[in-house]
Structure 1
């Protein structure tokens, strides 16, 4: 990579974070954070009835949160070098307890959209800072497994968030999902404060330098292709689940639950997968997701086969996300923190666009949406493969 910037301060954390409880708390918070993205999907109908509108416009509840989330990544990732990683994560998660409570009280869609953006911004303080924390405070031989555990938390929220929202809707109404989130974010803030290592001063740490590095990272050889592929990863994943909801697919409860065993199995496979070439591993995982999605479109399968295909899609995405972090983070050098902030931001820009793509094509049926997503995933796999030359010359 050809970017240059002032070196990071010499002061470095000496202590190594305890693996078990660090991975557990970070992955649980990751699950909770992104559950707020996916959990809105089953609530479209009930919230629309409450506010006197149609379910279609409520896809913007997902998009608004995703855009705020991405903005939070870009804002707080670089700031954490100056303010301290532990301080930023704890404050952001605590603030999200407040913003989530406000979403629960939203009187209408317009207010809810504004509050969802704000909710996304506050919890956006967590993911990029947590990834940077792992890169600096977790022992090197534990990092990939810890990142994979966190990624599993983010991905399993697609299942657990939707199932929780569906259950809370049936028991106490759609607003109760956000009420539960309020309490859990407060608990998560306390857990992070108890488990994370104290911040180490970084004299001279400059958020402005990180912000200036971001455009150069986007244009860097080997990274630009990867960054172009990033939005497709989570965008396709959110889009397919949104499409299932909007097209009235039968057996949604079982379909949502079917992906969970695959998500939980990904960390167990990580040690073996880590032996593979990272570019080939990541591109191959994207092709697996593309194949599963294409078959959904071509076969118009029944519930059982659809569940199996969704498992294949989930496996592909579950392997792709930590693979992309590994590729981008390892090539960013001293710019790891802004590079990961860009990665997470672009992931959720894609997640924000996914529901709108699904809504735009919903009238044409699930098959058309699935085939469009398969094409995007195949292009993303090609971009990862094309990045190899730049990665080797960086």
Structure 2
């Protein structure tokens, strides 16, 4: 192949990478914000609908559990149908569901519609990650996954800040209606992305695809990775769910203090993009283990923070660890899933978002013992996940 053709091919690969990462990275922030938008709105909804916060917290958990189940449905389906079509169709459906959430007349309707919203929103994460493997050159994939997973975690902070700002200025319903309009626009841009193709499964029936997914549970290393993945968003959502009480208890802070602590985590998430390069150098397993250990250290430091600056630093350490663990474990799961990459990533997403759903519930149950207890328990869970992955999973370098 001539030098000119090589350069043209490299230029085409780079252009595809930039286009895909821009649209999918932005989508990951916007869609995953729906998971975290609930955290600051729970007390608002409890007051608005005249219910206890223990009831209002199900607006988040209903979304999370439906999202977890939806990942299995959509992700496994993507091993049968063209992934880009699932991605933009899901966004069009999400536009309608998000409008309906903003119209909720009662807490029961809100919880039900949040469940529907979660089920539809699940058409994005696992499918997007598998889609990257279809359309990008191999040397761009880990970096693209780092950008997308960075968006997942940025959503955890920006979603909370966005909800707080919109609630204060235009009311909570407007937060959903604005997102609905943005989803529709992003879907139009997504239709212009490379089409890609599902390799090797286009002739398989849906029954065969789901049977293939079930067979993945016989892969012991993959099962361990899935179970360990529960700790990621369980600790992330659980920490932020308890943060408000901790700031109030320890430092008598207000909502503006919380906002600044949340925003302080953004640089950590952006730094986690470097995990893509680390994965190439030392492998996804080591990146995942070291990152989880760092996150656990951050949680322990948060529990014993004696000042606001120390709390900010500790939370930034925790967020950096969690944000760096995400691309590591995603790449690890993809390698272990081999040809059933879409299904393996879909089940991974199921376990991750089961953890996200359990986070606020666990925090609510433990908060009576103090926010410090929540941080210590979450730290123990994250350390356990790191140890299990280190001992129980052997992974060949890709």
| Same-fold call, TM cutoff 0.5 | yes
Q: CA deviation digits over 1:248-301, x for unaligned, max 9?
A: 63210111101001111211453245312432221111011011101222x143
Equivalence for 1:283: 289
In 2, the alpha carbon distance for the partners of 1:64 and 1:337 equals 24
Cα RMSD over matched residues?
1.9
Q: Check 1:81–1:304 CA distance in 2 against 1; reply closer, same or farther (3 A cut).
A: same
User: 1:217 deviation in Å?
Assistant: 1.9
- Further displaced range: 134-143 or 239-248: 239-248
Out of 228, 252, 259, the position equivalent to 1:253 is 259
Moved more, 57-66 or 191-200: 191-200
Q: 1:104 aligns with which of 102, 117, 123?
A: 102
Q: Which of the residues 283, 292, 306 maps onto 2:298?
A: 292
CA contact (8 A) 1:81 1:206 kept: no
SS of 2:282 mapped into structure 1: coil
Aligned to 2:349: 344
**1:266 and 1:131 mapped to 2: Cα distance?**
17
1:57, CA displacement in angstroms? 2.3
- Distance apart, 1:247 and its partner CA: 5.0
SS of 1:62 mapped into structure 2: helix
Aligned residues: 377
Q: Distance in 2 between matches of 1:373 and 1:339?
A: 26
SS of residue in 2 equivalent to 1:81: coil
Runs (5+) with no aligned partner, structure 1: 1-14
Of residues 66, 70, 73, the one that matches 1:72 is: 70
Counterpart in the other structure of 1:141: 139
8 Å contact kept, 2:269–2:323: yes
Q: What is the distance in 2 between the residues matched to 1:160 and 1:127? A: 18
Question: Which residue is 2:243 aligned to?
Answer: 244
In the superposition, relative to structure 1, how do residues 160 and 269 fare at CA in structure 2: closer, same or farther (>3 Å)?
A: same
Structure 1 CA distance for aligned equivalents of residues 224 and 184 of structure 2: 39
Provide the rounded CA distance (Å) in 2 between the counterparts of 1:359 and 1:291: 22
Q: What residue is the counterpart of 1:27 in the other structure?
A: 25
Counterpart in the other structure of 2:50: 52
SS at 1:35's partner residue? helix
Q: Deviations over 1:112-152 (max 9, x none)?
A: 11101100111111111111111121110000000000000
Give CA deviations for 1:145-197 in whole Å, capped at 9, x if unaligned: 00000000000001111111111011011111111111111112111112242
SS at match of 2:220: coil
Tell me, which stretches of 5 or more residues in structure 2 are unaligned?
1-11
User: Closer, same or farther in 2 for the Cα pair 1:174/1:310, shift >3 Å?
Assistant: same
Take 1:40 and 1:245, find their aligned partners in 2: how far apart are those partners? Answer: 14
Structure 2 contact 79–340 (Cα < 8 Å) conserved: no
SS, match of residue 107 in structure 1: coil
Check conservation: 1:87, 1:199, Cα contact below 8 A: no
Which residue of structure 2 aligns with residue 309 of structure 1? 314
Whether 1:372 aligns to 2:371 is: no
Aligned-partner SS, 1:231: helix
Q: What is the CA–CA distance in structure 1 between the aligned matches of 2:285 and 2:84, rounded to whole Å?
A: 32
The C-alpha deviation readout for 1:52-105, integer Å capped at 9, x for no partner, is 123332221111111111111111112223332111111111100110111111
Aligned to 2:221: 222
Aligned to 1:132: 130
Show CA shifts across 1:322-378 (max 9, x none): 100111111221111110101111110110011100010111111000000011001
Structure-2 residue corresponding to 1:183: 181
